[in-house]
């Protein structure tokens, strides 16, 4: 999908690598993206020119790192995640699981405060087979290299926890979420009904 906004698959691949890394050399970016170094350099130069990256020469090598002062960096990360990365892969896998009422990502991933080493915090609510959730998460984890930590609540557990209004339940309802299954309004109504 991002390829429609950007010029090429190569640009999207390079963007995905640099958005979640802490500074890499040209050859490493090229290797990870599966493109030639000259193609990677062209895409990196575009991102430097746009203010997304900072190029730091070190001898005859250059390191490319995110420009943390870029005003739209978090927006770009979120756009990437919602269209190319972990989020659409999870949503696709979860669309095939029966009994799933709600599934959402929360924590640093949802709030945009994540790094290459951040894990994905996932809440799953419904009467589901835990093995199906595990298989879906494992498949996505394998392709994205993001560790996925999930919590599964049955619908009955969800109603009990919503009624008790414990610290975790309160914090979960207030945190930013990226919805995979269900939506915020329906979720809030169910929390209030309990």
Per-residue pLDDT reduced to its tens digit, 161-177: 888 877 777 777 788 89
171 C-beta neighbours (distance < 10 Å), count:
10
Is the CB of residue 113 less than 8 Å from the CB of residue 126?
A: no
* Arithmetic mean of pLDDT, 74-85: 81
| Fold match, 2-71 / 85-193 | no
Going by C-alpha positions, the residue among 22, 32, 136 that lies closest to residue 88 is 136
* Domain range list for the chain: 2-71, 85-193
Per-residue pLDDT reduced to its tens digit, 86-119: 888 899 999 999 999 999 999 888 887 776 667 8
Q: Span 2-71: which CATH code?
A: 1.10.10.10
* Sequence-ordered list of residues with C-beta below 8 angstroms from that of 113, at least 6 positions apart, any chain: none
Going by C-alpha positions, the residue among 190, 120, 172, 123 that lies closest to residue 152 is 123
The CATH architecture of the domain made up of 85-193 is 2-Layer Sandwich (3.30)
Between 153 and 8, residue with greater pLDDT: 153
pLDDT attached to residue 99: 96
pLDDT attached to residue 135: 96
Instruction: Find how far residue 172's CA is from the centre of its chain.
Output: 18
Cβ-count burial of 61 within 10 angstroms (0-12 exposed, 13-18 middle, 19+ buried)? exposed
Strand, helix or coil at 148? strand
Residues belonging to the chain:
194
Per-residue pLDDT reduced to its tens digit, 8-60: 888 888 988 888 778 899 999 999 889 999 999 999 999 999 899 999 998 88
Instruction: Report the mean per-residue pLDDT for the chain.
Output: 87
* Arithmetic mean of pLDDT, 54-69: 92
**Tokens encoding 15:** 């963007």
pLDDT attached to residue 2: 52
Is the CB of residue 165 less than 8 Å from the CB of residue 143?
A: no
Between 174 and 66, residue with greater pLDDT: 66
Q: Supply angle C-alpha 83, 2, 185, rounded to 5.
A: 30
| Per-residue pLDDT band at 127 (split at 50, 70, 90) | very high
* Sequence-ordered list of residues with C-beta below 8 angstroms from that of 88, at least 6 positions apart, any chain: 82
């Amino acid at each position: 999908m991002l390829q429609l906004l950007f010029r090429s698959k190569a640009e999207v691949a390079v963007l995905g690598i640099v958005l979640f890394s802490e500074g890499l050399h040209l050859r490493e970016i090229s290797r990870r993206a599966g493109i030639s170094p000259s193609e990677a350099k062209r895409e990196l130069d575009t991102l430097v020119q746009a203010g997304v990256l900072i190029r730091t020469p070190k001898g005859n090598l250059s390191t490319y790192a995110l420009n943390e002062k870029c005003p739209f960096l978090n927006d770009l990360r979120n756009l990437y995640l919602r269209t190319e990365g972990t989020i659409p892969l999870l949503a696709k896998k979860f669309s095939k699981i029966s009994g799933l009422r709600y599934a959402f990502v929360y924590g640093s991933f949802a709030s945009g405060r994540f790094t290459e080493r951040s894990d994905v915090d996932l809440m799953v609510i419904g009467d589901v087979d835990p093995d199906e959730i595990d298989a879906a998460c494992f498949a996505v984890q394998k392709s994205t290299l993001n560790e996925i930590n999930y919590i599964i609540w049955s619908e009955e557990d969800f109603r009990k926890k919503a009624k008790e209004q414990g610290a975790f339940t309160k914090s979960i309802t207030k945190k930013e979420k990226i919805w995979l299954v269900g939506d915020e309004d329906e979720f809030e109504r169910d929390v209030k009904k309990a």
